[in-house]
Every structure is written in structure tokens, then in C-alpha cells.
Structure 1
Amino acid sequence: MNSRLPTSLAADIFTTHEALEIGIAAVNWSAVEDNLGRDGFSVLPSLLTPAHCQEIAGYFFQDVRFRSRIVMERYAFGRGEYKYFSYPLPDVVGRLRQSLYPHLAPIANRWHAAMRIDGRFPATHDEFREVCHAAGQQRPTPLLLRYQANDYCCLHQDLYGEHVFPFQVIFLLNEPGRDFEGGELLLTESNPKQPGRADVVPLKQGDAVVLAVNHRPMRSGRGFYRANLRHGVSRLHWGQRHTLGIVFHDAK
């Protein structure tokens, strides 16, 4: 049986995914860096089209694409489930990872310098993945999550080994108010020199949010110190909510 896509459909998908890379390049990355430095997160509106969202959410039921499935309640992570993609990643997921990384790596290097953390990140994701794999971090970490009524995710950090890229990107694949209610993205910050704070990040279908994985630099009179960040998801009241998580470091 011929498994190749019809020429016209393949061309449409290629054009759509090319447009995605163009959209990422057109983001005001200087403003993203300012937002990350001030808040620990930055929203990228309408980065995915509804067609992208539908395509990616549909992967959830294609078990062949994943290396593992986690039911959160078994591990006291919350309620809901998520699946880690296996290599090779689906084209759109791989393109997102490859296209976002070069814009975030320079910011990551400036953050590490400010916080006096050893190690700098190479220019391309392929190079960074080689670093991870050489250290035994060889399992892919992009993941697809599904929440249904009364599901939620506890506050956490996505750390999988020695090499941790300080940013990750989360994409909302459903529309609030139409497909689900509740399920807001929650971010908390623990600051050793100030009271802690929390943010609710409003997202629409196709929006992405770049957020700090574990900590961010905070300026003081003597330089910079580290504030600790965690993220989670509030309880879903009704409906179904899918998200795609792009984590750039692989896992052991």
C-alpha cells in the first residue's frame, strides 16, 4: 500500500509548517526577553493555527508516537494524563523545538552569566541534544497532556538530568469557554528576599507561553540572585483541555 500523502496535501502541510517557522522568526524576541526578565514568562499569541492545534491534539490517540504514558494520580502529580513523544518527533513538534531554540539560547546564556551558572548553550538544538545525549540524557521530553473535568496539575518543575535548558514552551490546543472551563496555567515564584507571588496566565487556542523552568535572575544591590519558579494547572470545571509542552533538554 502506498503510504505517501497526495502531492497537493503534502504541499499544503509543508507550506503550513514553513509558515510556522516564519511566524516564530517574526516574534519580537527582545520583548520576550524583557517579559521573561520581569515576570518569568512571556505569551506568544496565536503562534499555532486551529489546524495545527487539531493536528497535534489528535496525536494523543496515536500510541505509536509515544514512548510512555503517565497517569498523574498514580504519582500524586494531580489528575489527568500525559504522554512523552518518542523519536522521531512528529514533524510539527520537531520543527517547533528546532525553530524556537535558537531564539531562546542567547537569552539562556545571558541568564546563566547573570546567575553565575557554569555552562553555555550552543547555537542550535541539534548541538545541544548531542550534549544531552553524551551525558546519558537520551529520551525525548516533548509531551502532550490531556485534562478532563476535575483534573489538575500540581506545581512542579520539569528537570530531567544534569543538563537543563532554562526555558520551556507550552501551547494551548483548545479554546477556553468553548472546549473547557477552568484549567488555567498557574505560575508561582519563591523569592528569598521578597514575599512570593503567583500569576494566572490567560491563554487562548494557539497561544504559546515561554516560561522559566526552574529559576530566574533577580537584580540586587550586589548583582543577581535566583528566584525559584514552579508551574501547574488549576482544576478543570468541564470539557477537555490539551496542551503541548516543548522541553528542550532530553531525559535520562
Structure 2
Amino acid sequence: MELCANNEEVINKQSLQSEGFCVVKNVLKPETCLLLRELYAKDQHYRSTIDMQRYNFARGQYRYFNYPFPEIISRLRRYFYENLVDCANEWSQRLLHEMKFPADFYAFEQSQYEANQAKPTPLVLKYQEGDYNCLHQDVTSEKYFPYQMVFLLSKKDIDFAGGEIILAQQRPRMQTIAHVINIDQGDALILSSKYHPTLGVKGYYKSNFKHGVAKILRGERYSLGIIFHNYVGGDGD
């Protein structure tokens, strides 16, 4: 599986730092997207499967990868972490946060294990007609990376209709800003995991970011989620 569809993928760091999200076009080749979708049926790659309707927070299903990851998952995590770490440290500085993120992804992983965060978080999500995902955050502990990614594995308007990504930016004492994001197969969305430093008249303040998926109107939609931090717990829990 190859990482990029071309050598022109560009992270718009200015947009990411000002808006809290940005889109990266043509990260994965169509054949890589297909192979990742086909992995969904192979139980040996996953530590758990979640039926979202059972827990009453959405409709659809997702599966968390287990160690060892398929090579493409490991490469994506390392490649994008190391290209986002400068933004992450700027995020920390703007929010006067104590977190300092190492330049090397393996050093970040080691810090996660030392904090008892060893439960892997990359996942594939499967939505069918009528499915959706409510607004939420993928943060369960204090040690987290401020950005995460969603890669669309299905072809928009061919494999499915609907299913836009919804971002809700909640600002203190102000109304929520809704962002509706359309990406296509192979594209990636980089988004704030929890807080975004928003510039106000007195400096930066925290705006709370949540994300979800609008209802699937037709077909079947697969996406890959890359979360750089782990969850608390042992390998394969």
C-alpha cells in the first residue's frame, strides 16, 4: 500500500492554526483506499468492534486496529505526526499549556506508554444508508495530541451520498460555529482533537471542537481515523 497519490500533498498549516482544521488532497491512492476497505472484514487486524447504535451515540460501526498495525497505518501516523508537531507545540504555547511534543514520533509513543496509554486508537468506520455519527471528541485522558485525521476511503457521489463531516466550534459565551466539510476518496481532514486556540481581543482563548458525520443518504461510506495519542489501557484491551 502506498502512502500518497502524488507528491503534491500540502498541509495548510496557516489554516490549521487559524481555523482549527484543514483538508489535504490526494493523500491515498484509490487502490490503497480499496485495500483498507477490504481489511475491514479481516478480524485479525482489530482489537474491538463497536456497534454505535448499541451505545446510543450514533448509527454505524467501527473497528479499532490492534498491534501490529498494517504498514500503511504506521506510516501515516509517523509521517503526519512529524509534519504536525510544530503546529502542536505552537498550539501548546498559545494555550499556555505544559505539554511539549517531541519531534520524533517514536519518542511521543514512548511517553504514551509511560503514562499507561498503550491502547491503540487508529480505526476504520463503516456507515450505511441512514447511519450517522453524533458530535463527539476522541479524547479520554489528559495526555493527547491536539490534532487528528480522517481519510475518506469511499468515492463521494458514487459509493455514497450525504455523509458530510460536521465540525462544531463551541466558543465561550458565544454561539457555536458549524463547519460542513466535503472531502473525496483519498483526501484527508486534519482537525482539532479537543481545543483550538482562537484569537480574541485579549489574546488566545479555548474554543471547544467536536466532530461528527451527517446522515448517509445512499450507499456505503468507509473512512479511516488516525488518532496519534493512545487510550489508557494495555495492548489489545
Common topology (TM > 0.5):
yes
Match of 1:235 in 2: 215
Match of 1:147 in 2: 127
Q: 1:251, CA displacement in angstroms?
A: 0.7
SS at match of 1:159: coil
Residues 26-72 of structure 1: CA deviation (Å, up to 9, x unaligned): 5434xx22111232210001111101100111110011000000000
In structure 1, runs of 5+ residues without a counterpart are 1-12
Residue 33 of structure 1, aligned match among 10, 13, 22: 13
The separation in 1 between residues aligned to 2:35 and 2:10, in whole angstroms, is 26
Match of 2:98 in 1: 118
In structure 2, runs of 5+ residues without a counterpart are 233-237
The separation in 2 between residues aligned to 1:33 and 1:104, in whole angstroms, is 8
Identify if the C-alpha distance between structure 1 residues 27 and 178 changes in structure 2 by more than 3 Å, giving closer, same or farther: closer
SS at match of 1:232: strand
Residue 184 of structure 1, aligned match among 164, 171, 174: 164
Residue 112 of structure 2, aligned match among 121, 132, 142: 132
SS at match of 2:130: coil
The equivalences for 1:42-191 within 5 A come to 42-191=22-171
TM-score, normalised relative to structure 1: 0.88
Q: 1:22, CA displacement in angstroms?
A: 7.8
Match of 2:235 in 1: none
Q: Which runs of 4+ in 1 moved over 4 A?
A: none
The separation in 2 between residues aligned to 1:220 and 1:50, in whole angstroms, is 41
Identify if the C-alpha distance between structure 1 residues 34 and 204 changes in structure 2 by more than 3 Å, giving closer, same or farther: same
SS at match of 1:89: coil
Match of 1:249 in 2: 229
Q: Which amino acid aligns with 2:65?
A: F
SS at match of 2:31: helix
Q: 1:75, CA displacement in angstroms?
A: 1.1
TM-score, normalised relative to structure 2: 0.94
Residues 160 and 250, structure 1, Cα contact 8 Å, conserved in 2: no
Q: Which amino acid aligns with 1:153?
A: N
Residues 6 and 26, structure 2, Cα contact 8 Å, conserved in 1: no
Q: 1:193, CA displacement in angstroms?
A: 4.7
Residues 147 and 241, structure 1, Cα contact 8 Å, conserved in 2: yes
Residues 152 and 233, structure 1, Cα contact 8 Å, conserved in 2: yes
Residue 208, structure 1, aligned to residue 191, structure 2: no
SS at match of 2:225: strand
Residues 197 and 206, structure 2, Cα contact 8 Å, conserved in 1: yes
The separation in 1 between residues aligned to 2:10 and 2:157, in whole angstroms, is 29
